[in-house]
């Protein structure tokens, strides 16, 4: 009998040791095992969600309930896992073009229904917590990859009136589930930095206010505790790349609404990361963020830690460009001046909303020493000029595709003339296309399309086409697309 008691005690202790060894680093290191490869591109519509939800319904661990429909009649689902007393509500893609967290949620579903070394962790999690997920609140916006819904209403400014069916669903879930915790999952501008640093804010957090005075109460303090805990857990993986949103009260926003109605709701914003165009690494960090949060909610590791860690998160600053050219000469009326140029490559939808193209713009000119770029070029000693238009006309795009692009770029031509312009707004070429070349002449100006040349004396060193930099010394083309000027 004594031997059995000792054995039982050993097993209990061993179970506790195994549980305590599951940490954020495990989620980070094992992520690839759970990544859902059915989604690899940020642009996907409700049809993809339907297929993934249908596949998920085969698991006996999850409960899936249709909560209603969008304005255009697409189903909005609630996916629930666990039976614990503490309730958590996560919702993603309230804005249709903010899909990073939606991808991560399906990775998390794969993790939660798996059968592997995390089984003890899952058992404890499901016993302590009930997890609820709305993986795409705005399917109509997602279909057109735009922020707002089918009626062009920003759902995150409809928490007060609750006019839209999508907003009513979310408000109803808060009222019926009364979740203790929430995660409000968004994408933010890629041009935010974490504080005044040069580091992109890959993730940003916020414990929203519940009134204009930004008062504290138990719910907001709890939100700051869980957010501060997550922030500290993520530091080893993306140090310096986490920011904090401004906490001005917005009574029309659902994050503020949730806090006011008793849910400790953390805003999670996915920003930018160099060379992560489809946000796949940021997707991974969403996976790590949420599982770290669930772990802490289950074990209450964050409780009592106070708010200091939260307030230590540097506040977001909008200090980034895609490309900064520093200290170049510009000539004007016979004189030379030293300037910096900040370029942004704005992502735009194609007409069918299924793909994208970029339009590179000169966003700022002057002293940009307090700003930073994902890419930067030291232009000291170089002179910058506007790109040239090739003097000979091409009849069609087919004729244009036969030319030697690199030769034209080396001669400083960033745009060519085509008598018959193709449909659309862009071409899959490292050159722009126009019919009216005279409109592209003149001085470098703010808000111009970014087609530029950089010379060292008389020698051309760099060409910028539509905001993309081409180094003539390498001959490696990395220009995503050209623009069609009609």
- CATH number for the domain that contains residue 236: 3.40.630.10
Residues 35 and 72 in one domain: yes
pTM of structure:
0.94
Query: Which tokens in the block code for residue 195?
Result: 């504080």
**Shortest CA distance to 206 belongs to which of 267, 153, 158?**
267
Write the DSSP symbol of residue 421: P
Distance between CA 9 and CA 14 in Å, rounded? 8
Note the pLDDT tens digit of each residue in 91-138.
999 999 999 999 999 999 999 999 999 999 999 999 999 999 999 999
What is the C-alpha separation between 208 and 102, in angstroms, rounded? 22
Same domain assignment for residues 362 and 481: yes
pLDDT of residue 7: 42
Tokens of 3: 């031997």
- pLDDT tens-digit series, residues 252-310: 999 999 999 999 999 999 999 999 999 999 999 999 999 999 999 999 999 999 999 99
Q: Which domain holds residue 39?
A: 23-317
Q: What is the pLDDT of residue 4?
A: 43
| Co-location of 272 and 359 in the same domain | no
Do 333 and 469 reside in the same domain of the chain?
A: yes
| Same domain for 471 and 334 | yes
pLDDT at res. 436:
75
27 CB neighbour count, 10 Å cutoff: 24
Cβ atoms of residues 345 and 426 within 8 Å:
no
Residue 474: other Cβ atoms inside 10 A: 8
Instruction: Indicate the burial class of 218 (C-beta count within 10 angstroms; 0-12, 13-18, 19 or more).
Output: exposed
Count of domains observed in the chain: 2
Per-residue b or e along 354-368, where b marks 16 or more CB atoms closer than 10 Å to that residue's CB: eebbbbbbbbbbeeb
- Claim to verify: residue 51 and residue 94 sit in the same structural domain: yes
Note whether residue 16 is domain-resident. Answer: no
The per-residue pLDDT for 203 is 98
- For residue 7, being part of any structural domain is answered with no
* CA 338 to chain CA centroid, nearest Å: 35
> What does the radius of gyration of the chain's CA atoms come to, in whole angstroms?
26
Which residue numbers in the chain have pLDDT < 50? Answer: 1-20
Burial class (CB in 10 A: 0-12, 13-18, 19+), 251: middle
For residues 169 and 167, give the distance between their C-alpha atoms in angstroms, rounded to a whole number: 5
Distance CA 481, CA 179 (A): 46
């Amino acid at each position: 009998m004594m031997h059995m008691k000792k054995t039982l005690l050993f097993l209990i202790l061993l179970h506790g040791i195994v549980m305590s060894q599951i940490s954020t680093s495990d989620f980070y290191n094992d992520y690839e095992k759970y990544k859902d490869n059915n989604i690899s591109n940020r642009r996907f519509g409700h049809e993809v969600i339907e297929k993934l939800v249908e596949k998920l319904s085969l698991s006996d661990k999850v409960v899936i309930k249709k909560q209603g429909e969008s304005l255009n009649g697409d189903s909005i689902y609630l996916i629930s896992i666990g039976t614990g007393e503490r309730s958590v509500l996560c919702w993603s893609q309230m804005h249709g073009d903010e899909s990073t967290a939606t991808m991560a949620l399906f990775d998390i579903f794969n993790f939660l229904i798996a059968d592997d070394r995390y089984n003890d962790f899952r058992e404890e999690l499901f016993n302590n917590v009930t997890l609820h997920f709305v993986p795409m609140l705005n399917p109509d916006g997602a279909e057109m990859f735009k922020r707002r819904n089918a009626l062009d209403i920003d759902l995150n400014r409809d928490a007060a009136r609750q006019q839209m069916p999508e907003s009513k669903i979310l408000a109803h879930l808060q009222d019926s589930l009364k979740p203790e915790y929430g995660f409000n999952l968004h994408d933010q501008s890629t041009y935010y930095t974490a504080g005044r640093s040069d580091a992109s804010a890959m993730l940003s957090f916020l414990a929203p206010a519940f009134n204009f005075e930004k008062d504290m109460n138990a719910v907001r303090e709890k939100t700051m505790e869980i957010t501060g805990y997550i922030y500290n857990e993520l530091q080893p993986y993306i140090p310096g790349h986490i920011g904090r949103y401004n906490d001005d009260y917005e009574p029309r926003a659902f994050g503020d609404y949730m806090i006011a109605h008793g849910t400790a709701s953390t805003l999670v914003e996915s920003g930018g990361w160099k060379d992560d165009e489809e946000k796949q690494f940021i997707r991974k960090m969403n996976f790590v963020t949420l599982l770290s949060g669930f772990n802490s909610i289950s074990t209450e590791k964050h409780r009592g830690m106070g708010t200091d860690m939260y307030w230590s998160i540097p506040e977001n600053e909008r200090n980034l460009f895609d490309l900064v050219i520093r200290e170049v000469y510009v000539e004007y009326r016979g004189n030379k001046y030293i300037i910096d140029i900040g370029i942004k490559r704005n992502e735009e939808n194609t007409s069918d909303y299924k793909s994208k193209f970029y339009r590179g713009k000169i966003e700022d000119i002057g002293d940009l020493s307090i700003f930073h770029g994902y890419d930067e070029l030291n232009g000291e000693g170089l002179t910058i000029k506007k790109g040239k238009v090739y003097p000979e006309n091409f009849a069609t795009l087919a004729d244009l595709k036969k030319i030697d692009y690199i030769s034209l770029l080396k001669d400083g031509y960033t745009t060519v003339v085509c008598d018959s312009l193709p449909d659309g707004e862009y071409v899959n070429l490292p050159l722009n296309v126009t019919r009216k070349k005279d409109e592209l002449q003149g001085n470098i100006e703010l808000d111009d399309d970014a087609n530029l040349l950089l010379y060292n004396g008389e020698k051309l060193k760099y060409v910028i086409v539509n905001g993309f930099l081409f180094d003539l010394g390498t001959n490696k083309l990395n220009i995503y697309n050209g623009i069609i000027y009609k």
